[in-house]
Amino acid sequence: MQVIVRVPATSANLGPGFDCLGLALDLWNETSFSLTGQGLSINVEGEGEGKLSLDHSNLIVQAAQHYYSFVGQELPTDITIHCQNHIPLSSGLGSSAAAVLTGLLGANALAGNLLSQEEVLNLAIELEGHPDNVAPALHGGLSLSAPDGKANISKQINVHPFQIAIVLPEVKLSTQDARNALPPSVGMSDAVFNLSHTTLTVEALRNGDLELLSQAMQDRLHQPYRLPLIPGAAEAIQAAQNTGAAAALSGAGPSVIAFAEGNVDAVAERMQSAFTDKGIASRKFTLGIAAKGATIKQT
């Protein structure tokens, strides 16, 4: 039996929706699992080739192992995993969430689908620590998530098919460094500012209101503290806004995401130029929104 899992990239926060908003993007990792060979065999092509571990420390394998432990079984001894990756590592585009979800969904299929999608999602949140990437990666579209005691509430929201420009600068920014940059507490006025702007961001994405979105995607909880760690990012956001786009950091960065209508290539070029002016090389992607999330195919 072979299982093929496809999981999309994601962009979290979208400006004000810190740790609660996430959007699935039409950029995919595809991974095949088969119970063949002798021992564990992992092959990686594309993003992460030559960098990702090829043993039991691989995040996909760790997630699969977590799944089997949860259902009271052992990870199969002989398993071959082939990864065709298009999501850049350490980019703010949900590569770790994609790996976690891939491992859990692949293991679930191999084990006979013992868990529901929501149970798989809860395991993914447990491993990732927050739902903002794994929820949209699983369900597609825009996900609004909130913790509720030991459980998690996630709502998938259909959104307007905006064009999306992503620019990824060659800046090293670890998740830990991005978290450490944040203050331990925020003022009431900043919290209210983000609550109101998050609501407007969701409404603008649903209704396709780019002008409202450009006003709504402002943040006071994380971007003011993270932008100084990414040379050119603040200028790239401003460059996108000057073209009429709505822009913000993608997740914790270093990628910048912008929403556009009709001029997405020009928006991407303007953002790239902002990084170039700072002496920072970058890559650009022009994408759509992934209306559907992860898929599993068994052959």
Q: Based on the fold, state whether residues 68 and 195 are members of the same structural domain.
A: no
Q: Based on the fold, state whether residues 241 and 279 are members of the same structural domain.
A: yes
Q: Based on the fold, state whether residues 10 and 153 are members of the same structural domain.
A: yes
pLDDT tens string 226-258: 999 999 999 999 999 999 999 999 999 999 999
Q: With CA atoms as reference, report the closest residue to 62 among 123, 9, 110, 134.
A: 123
What pLDDT does residue 75 have? 95
Q: Based on the fold, state whether residues 151 and 174 are members of the same structural domain.
A: no
Q: With CA atoms as reference, report the closest residue to 9 among 91, 118, 107, 81.
A: 91
pLDDT tens string 133-172: 999 999 999 999 987 767 788 899 999 999 999 999 999 9
> Looking at residue 141, which CATH number applies to its domain?
3.30.230.10
Q: Based on the fold, state whether residues 205 and 87 are members of the same structural domain.
A: no
pTM: 0.96
Residue numbers of the domain that contains 111: 2-157+289-298
Q: Please calculate the CA angle 238-134-142 and round it to the nearest 5 degrees.
A: 55
Q: Based on the fold, state whether residues 12 and 84 are members of the same structural domain.
A: yes
- Give the chain's domain count: 2
pLDDT tens string 81-136: 999 999 999 999 999 999 999 999 999 999 999 999 999 999 999 999 889 999 99
Using CA atoms, how far apart are residues 202 and 213, in angstroms rounded to an integer?
A: 9
Q: Based on the fold, state whether residues 30 and 140 are members of the same structural domain.
A: yes
Q: Based on the fold, state whether residues 152 and 187 are members of the same structural domain.
A: no
Q: Based on the fold, state whether residues 211 and 126 are members of the same structural domain.
A: no
Mean pLDDT, range 215-228, rounded to an integer: 97
Q: Based on the fold, state whether residues 215 and 79 are members of the same structural domain.
A: no
Q: Based on the fold, state whether residues 78 and 121 are members of the same structural domain.
A: yes
